Amino acid sequence: MTHPVLKATLDLGQSVWLDFINRQLMDSGRLTMLIEEGLRGMTSNPTIFEQAIAGSSDYDRDVREGIRHGWSALQVFEHLAVEDIVRAADALHSVYDESEGADGFVSLEVSPKLAHDTQNTIAEAKRLWSSVDRPNLMIKVPGTREGLPAVRVLLSEGINVNVTLIFSLQQYKDVLETYLLAMEDRANRKQELNRIASVASFFISRVDTSADKQLLAKNRSDLTGKAAIANACVAYRHFLEVTESSRWKNLAAKGARVQRPLWASTSTKNPAYPDVLYMHELVAKDTVNTLPPATLDAWKDHGQPAPRLLENLKQADRILEQIRAAGVDVDQITDDLIEDGVLKFAASFDQLLAAINTKMHGG
């Protein structure tokens, strides 16, 4: 039965996705229940898979199968990940069909080790796309300088892409421009646009974590907890400006879908903040919010969906100006977070392969 909070969120134009995947979620029937309640998609990343595989015995039989095949830890991981992603994609296919390809996606990330390697990102993305072989798959590619040319190639060749690790307004502008170019590439080749889907994963909470630390050091607690929401608001304004442009309307007339902003990293890191802060303040039309299980449960329990993003947008520039005037460089923070995010996901990937290696060798 549809959950009233999830339905109200969707009615306002925002799809709720789950930032989590593991075998138990699917074996237990909980994923099916969440989809019936109104869950519209799923995302994964190396950290999530590391927790799933290292933190349970659910995958041990498959690891032993990998040993019999003589696979490497990386090959074992890909086998496990593809199997989980296929199951999740099949579970969400009803949402994909019902929404005519707007929702029902599950995301699988290329190795974060390739964040600065365009050609190998393209090759790995194509291989994963072929292995999963589901129309409601999205391949996650980091929005780095080297990642964006890969994004353009993949989208123009008909592969759905979740562009991840976006932190700054300029980076977001570059991502949306890449999407437009890819759609124009397809349009110029007279290829269909209406079944290509993409989201731009704009990270939220980590911006506040970094900005708050600096603001508190400057005795500006009045500005804490505001940078991330304001930063997301100005990105959304750019989205609105682009979708009002004649350039976009020309593509839309040929069937192109908007590349929705996806609010990522939306669990609150500061326990002093409301647990649904980054849901509450960022509901808007044509957006996605991807939530870890605890935040999804909290949103269902006491979320109050309302179109607050547009209200917050009215004061976003002023808030960012006040933060800069206090001596906190938001642009520097977001630039640092991009590379820090790449390094953290790469470290998680190393831990993931190490955990599989341990299981493979009797640890």
- Residue 285 phi/psi, 5-degree rounding, is -65, 145
Angle at 180 between CA 283 and CA 177, to 5 degrees: 75
The rounded distance, in Å, linking the Cα atoms of 30 and 23 is 10
DSSP H helices, the chain, are: 4-11, 23-27, 30-37, 46-54, 60-69, 73-91, 93-98, 118-132, 147-156, 169-188, 205-217, 227-243, 246-253, 277-280, 293-302, 308-325, 330-360
Residue in 140, 226, 300, 359 annotated catalytic: 140
In one-letter notation, the amino acid at residue 77 is: F
Report which of 299, 336, 342 is spatially closest to residue 112, judged by C-alpha positions.
342
Please report the DSSP string for 90-108 in residue order: HHTHHHHHHTTTSS-EEEE
User: In whole angstroms, what separates CA 72 from the centre of its chain?
Assistant: 28
> Is 218 designated active site?
no
- For β-strands 105-109 and 137-142, DSSP reports them as parallel
| Residue 264 main-chain phi, psi, to 5 deg | -115, 165
Burial category of 346 from C-beta neighbours within 10 Å (exposed 0-12, middle 13-18, buried 19 and up): middle
> Which DSSP symbol is given to 268?
-
| CA separation for the pair 261, 255 (Å, rounded) | 19
Residues labelled catalytic: 140
